[in-house]
Amino acid sequence: MTLKHLSIIAISVLAVGCSTKEKIYLGADLSYVNEIEDCGAYYQNGGKKVDPYKLFEEKGCNLVRIRLWNAPEASPYSNFADVKKSIKRAKDNDMKVLLDFHYSDTWADPGRQDIPKAWAHITDVKVLGDSVYNYTYNTLMMLDKGNLLPEMVQVGNETNNEILQPKGTIKDTIDWKRNSHLLNRGLKAVRDVANKTNKKIESMLHIAQPENALKWFKPATENGLTDYDYIGLSYYPLWSEYKFDRLPEAISTLKNTYKKKVIIVETSYPYTMNNVDKANNILDKKALIDGYPASPEGQKKYMIDLVKLTLKGGGSGVIYWEPAWVTSSCKTLWGDGSHWDNATFFDAANNNEALPGFDFYNKDNYK
C-alpha cells in the first residue's frame, strides 16, 4: 500500500470521526437557572462555587435547551428577556441552543395546550396562524440582532394534543386541518428567518413518549406536516409504554419512516428518594426501573445506557431535562422550592456539589 493510499484512508477516517461527533448532541435544559440563581441557589464542583453554564460546557454538554413562554404571568422568567440572557450564557460558553416555543403563557404539555391570553379572542384559523408566524419570525429576528440566533427551534412543546386551545381544555381528537396549518406557520417562520439571515436553523416537532410519536406523525404527515428537520421525543420510563429494550426500535422506525433526525429532548432520573424542601418531587419510587437504583451511580448508568440505546436506534442524542433545577427560595404554581431536587446533577444534601451524572456528557462512553 502506497503512502498516497494511506493518506487517503487517514483523511477518510478523520472525516468519518468528525461527522459522527457532530451528530451526537448531549444536552441540558437549563431554563430554570436564571430564576433560581436570583432566588439564592448556587452550584459547586470540587467544593468551589461555579457558573453552571461553564460547568456544563467543561463536562461536555454541547446543546442547551431553553423554553419560551409568550407572556408568562406566574413569574417574570421564561419570557423574551430571560431567554436572551440564557442564550447568551450558552453561547458565551460555546454551546449550541435549542429554543423551545411553547406557544402559551405557561406550561404546554400533553395535559394542556393553553392558547396565549393575547390570542385567546382569535377564532379565525388563518389569523391565528399569522399570529404564530409573526411571533416566531419576529422573536428570531430580534435574537439575530444580538447574535443570539438559536441553532435549533422547537415549534411547540409536547404537542401530543391540538395546540392553542382555550385555557383548561384538551380535545379528545385533533382537528388536523387546523393543527397542521398552525404548526406549519411556525415552521415556515423558522425557514424564512434562516433564509433571511443566511444562517442554518433546524426545526423540530416534539411529542411526549415514543408510543405517542409513532401514532402522531402518521396523520401529521398525511396532513402536510413535512418541512421540519428533527423529531423530538420526551422519554420518561415512568409514563411510557416503551421500556429500554424497545427504545431503539421506536427511534429507528420514526427515523426511517419519516426521514427525519430523532433526538430525545427530555429525560431524567432520580439520584435519591430524599426531598430537601416543601415541594413534592415529581419523580418518586414509581420512576425507578430495574437495574438502576435511586443513587448517583444509578442515575449516571441510566443516562449512559439511554444514550447508547438512542444511538443504536439511529438517534442524534439526548438532552437532560432541568439538571440544574435545585432547591431555592423560588415558588412554583404548586409549592415552594424545587419539584426536581432529587433528579438534578447536583447533590442537595452536600451543598449542591456536582454529581457523577455529569459523566454522561463524556463522549468516550459512546465510542
Catalytic position from the list 35, 158, 162, 322: 158
Give CA–CA dist 170/11, Å, rounded: 54
Give, as one character, the DSSP assignment of residue 366: G
Residues β-bridged to residue 261: 230
Strands 44-45 and 48-49: antiparallel
pLDDT of residue 171: 87
Give CA–CA dist 125/127, Å, rounded: 5
- Which three cell numbers, joined as nine digits, stand for 242? 416503551
- Which three cell numbers, joined as nine digits, stand for 10? 487517514
pLDDT digits 0-9 by tens, 84-104: 999 999 999 999 999 999 999
Q: Is residue 10 included in any domain, yes or no?
A: no
Structural domain of 195: 26-366
Active site residue 266: yes
Q: What is the DSSP string of 110-164?
A: TTB-BPPGGGTT---HHHHHHHHHHHHHHHHHHHHHTT---SEEEESSS-SS-SS
Catalytic position from the list 35, 57, 162, 266: 266
Q: Is residue 237 included in any domain, yes or no?
A: yes
Closest CA to 233 of 139, 324, 306: 306
pLDDT of residue 333: 86
Q: Is residue 230 included in any domain, yes or no?
A: yes
Q: Is residue 173 included in any domain, yes or no?
A: yes
Question: For position 57, which CATH number holds?
Answer: 3.20.20.80
Alpha-carbon separation of residue 273 from 49, 81, 90, 140, 339 (angstroms): 25, 35, 30, 40, 12
Amino acid code (one letter) for 8: I
The domain tally of the chain equals: 1
Q: Is residue 58 included in any domain, yes or no?
A: yes
Residues β-bridged to residue 107: none
pLDDT of residue 249: 97
CA angle 212–226–251, rounded 5-degree value: 40
End-to-end Cα, the chain, rounded Å: 28
Closest CA to 110 of 156, 69, 145: 156
Q: Is residue 65 included in any domain, yes or no?
A: yes
Q: Is residue 245 included in any domain, yes or no?
A: yes
Give per-10-residue mean pLDDT for the chain (367 aa). 38 36 85 97 98 98 98 93 98 98 97 97 98 98 98 98 94 95 98 98 98 98 98 97 95 98 98 94 96 98 98 98 96 90 97 98 96
Q: Is residue 18 included in any domain, yes or no?
A: no
